[in-house]
Chains A and B, each alone.
Chain A
C-alpha cells in the first residue's frame, strides 16, 4: 500500500511545484494591458482568419481507433508475459493465434489504405 501513497505524494508535490513557480513568476513580473491585437492568436502577423477549431482529417480518428484495439492487446500481452514460463507451449500457441487475428485486422486496414496519411 505504500506504493500508492508515493504515487499520490509525487502528484501533489509536482502540482504544487508548478503552481508555486508560476505563482512566484506572476508576483514578480510586469503585466500590461496592450491593445486588442495583443490577445489575438498568432497567425504569422495577420489578424486571425476563419474558425480556429476547424475540422481536421479523419485519419487522426482512425489511428486512434487502431490504437485502442492494439493497446488492449498490449495490456493482455504484459500479463501473459509475466506467467509465460508456467503456460509454456500452450501459452505460446494461444498468444500466436490471438496476435494473428489482430494482425489480420492490421493487414485489412493496410489494404484499405488507412495507414497512408492523406
Chain B
C-alpha cells in the first residue's frame, strides 16, 4: 500500500480533488443508473429497441475500449511474474495479493507523472505518435471474433483490414522517433520501419494459404471454418504458415527476441527514449494490447478460433425457466437459504466447538463457490457464445504465455540477422507454402472430380 500512498503524495492539489471525484463518479454512476432504470426505464427501453443498430455500435466500441485496460494490466502482471520466475526471482509481491495490483499502481504512477515535451521536439507529431500507435492496436479489435457472434463487425475484407491497420503501428513509431529530436529515438524509429517493412510481407503471405482453403477474407468466417475436432484446425493443414505467422507476428508486435526498436543495450529505449508519463504509458499499453491481439489472431487463424478441440455437446435446456412462473422466484429466494444451511450442517456437526455463525459463514462461502461454478457450467453448456468466449480466452492466454516465455528465454538477435532472416528465409518459405497449398487444392479437386 505504500506505493499507492506515494502516488497520492505525488499528486498536486488539483489531483487530490480530481482523483476522489473520479472514484465518486465510478461509485455514484452505477447507483444513478439503477435509479434511472427504475423511473425512466420503460421509455428508454422503447427508444433503445427502435435503435438497435446504434446500441450495438456503442456497446461494441465501449466494450472493446473497456476490455483493453484489464487485459493490458493482466498481461503486464503476468509478464513481470513469469519472467521473474524464469530468472529465479520472485517478482512483484507487495501491492495486493501476490503483487497482483502492481500494474494498477503502475497505471496510477504514469497518470501522476509530469506531461513533458523535450526542447526541440516537433510538438504536434510528438503528441500524435502515441495516438497513432494506440489507434493501430485498438482498431484491429474490430474484426477479432471473441466467440460465435461476438465480433464487433465482420468485415468481408477482414484480413486485409487487419494488416492495413496493423501496419499503421510503425507509422506511429517512426513519428515518435522523428519528433523526439534524439539520436537514439531516430535510430529506434528507423529500425522499426525497416523491421516492419521486412516482416510485413511474410506475415501477410503466411495467411494466403488460409484464404485459399477457406475461400474468404473474413476473419470470422475463417474462424468458423475450423469447427469440429481439433484436427480441423488450420495449424494442421498450414504448419509452415502458422510458424511464419508466429515469427513475423513477434517482429510486428516488436516483442523480444525481435525487439530491435527498443533494444535497451544499444539505443537506450529506442523510439520511447524521450517519452514519459501518460504518453509513454500509451506506447506500452498499446504494446501489451498488441501482444493480446497477436495471440488472438494466431488462435483465430490457426488454432480453431473459439471452437473447442472436440465437437460441441449439443445440450438442449432440460427445463424452460419461464414455465415455472412464480415458482422460479420462490426457487431463487429459497435455494440460497436452503443450500447455505445444507452446506453449513457438516461444518457444525463435525466439531462441536464450532460456533453457529462460523459454520453458517463457511456454509455460505461453500454455497457461493458451488453456485458460481454451477452457473458458469450451465452457461458453458447452454450458451454457445459463453463457451466460445471461454475457449477463445484460454487459448489466447496460452499464446500470450508463449510470447512471455520467448522473451524470458531467447537472447535478442542482431539487426543484420533479423533483416536477413526475413528476406532470405521467411519470404521464400511463405511463397513455397502458398504454392504447395494451391497445388494441393488443385490435386484434391482433380481427385474428387475423378473419383
Using a CB–CB distance below 8 Å, which chain A residues touch chain B? 2-3, 5-7, 9-11, 13-15, 17-19, 21-22, 24-32, 36, 39-44, 52-54, 56, 59-60, 63-64, 66-67, 70-71, 74-75, 77-78, 81-82, 84-85, 88-89, 92, 95-96, 99, 103, 106, 110, 115-117
Q: Check A29–B205 contact: CB distance below 8 A.
A: no
Q: Check B14–A67 contact: CB distance below 8 A.
A: no
Q: Check B445–A41 contact: CB distance below 8 A.
A: no
Interface SS of B by simple majority: helix
Q: Check B423–A106 contact: CB distance below 8 A.
A: yes
Q: Closest Cβ of chain B: how far from A14's Cβ, in Å?
A: 4
Select one of B115, B155, B215 contacting A26, CB under 8 A.
B115
Contacts of B259 in A (CB 8 A): none
Q: Check A42–B268 contact: CB distance below 8 A.
A: yes
Select one of A6, A31, A85 contacting B142, CB under 8 A.
A6
Q: Check A52–B15 contact: CB distance below 8 A.
A: no
Residue of A nearest to B15 (CB): A28
Residue of B nearest to A96 (CB): B435
Q: Check A29–B112 contact: CB distance below 8 A.
A: yes
Taking CB atoms and an 8 Å cut-off, the chain B residues in 167-201 that contact chain A are: 178, 180-187, 190, 193-194, 197-198, 200-201
A84 to B215, CA, bound (A): 8
Contacts of A115 in B (CB 8 A): 419-420, 423-424
Residue of A nearest to B211 (CB): A81
A60 to B195, CA, bound (A): 9
Q: Closest Cβ of chain B: how far from A53's Cβ, in Å?
A: 7
Q: Check B115–A31 contact: CB distance below 8 A.
A: yes
B131 within 8 A of A: yes
Q: Closest Cβ of chain B: how far from A11's Cβ, in Å?
A: 6
Q: Check B186–A116 contact: CB distance below 8 A.
A: no
Q: A22-B282, A96-B435 are in contact. List 20 more A-B contacts (CB 8 A).
A: A6-B142, A10-B139, A13-B62, A14-B139, A17-B134, A24-B18, A25-B111, A26-B278, A29-B11, A31-B114, A31-B115, A39-B120, A41-B118, A53-B186, A56-B187, A64-B194, A67-B197, A78-B160, A78-B208, A89-B442
Interface size class of B (residues with CB under 8 A): 35 or more
Residue of B nearest to A73 (CB): B201
Q: Check A60–B193 contact: CB distance below 8 A.
A: yes
A106 to B429, CA, bound (A): 14
Select one of B11, B64, B274, B279 contacting A42, CB under 8 A.
B274
Q: A74-B205, A92-B439, A117-B419 are in contact. Are A25 and B115 (CB under 8 A)?
A: yes
B2 within 8 A of A: no
Q: Check B419–A25 contact: CB distance below 8 A.
A: no
Q: Check B139–A29 contact: CB distance below 8 A.
A: no
A110 to B425, CA, bound (A): 12
B61 within 8 A of A: yes
B60 within 8 A of A: yes
Q: A3-B153, A70-B427, A77-B205 are in contact. Are A116 and B217 (CB under 8 A)?
A: no
The 5 closest A-B pairs by CB, nearest first: A39-B119, A28-B15, A117-B416, A67-B197, A41-B182
Residue of B nearest to A12 (CB): B61
Q: A39-B118, A41-B274, A78-B159 are in contact. Are A116 and B420 (CB under 8 A)?
A: yes
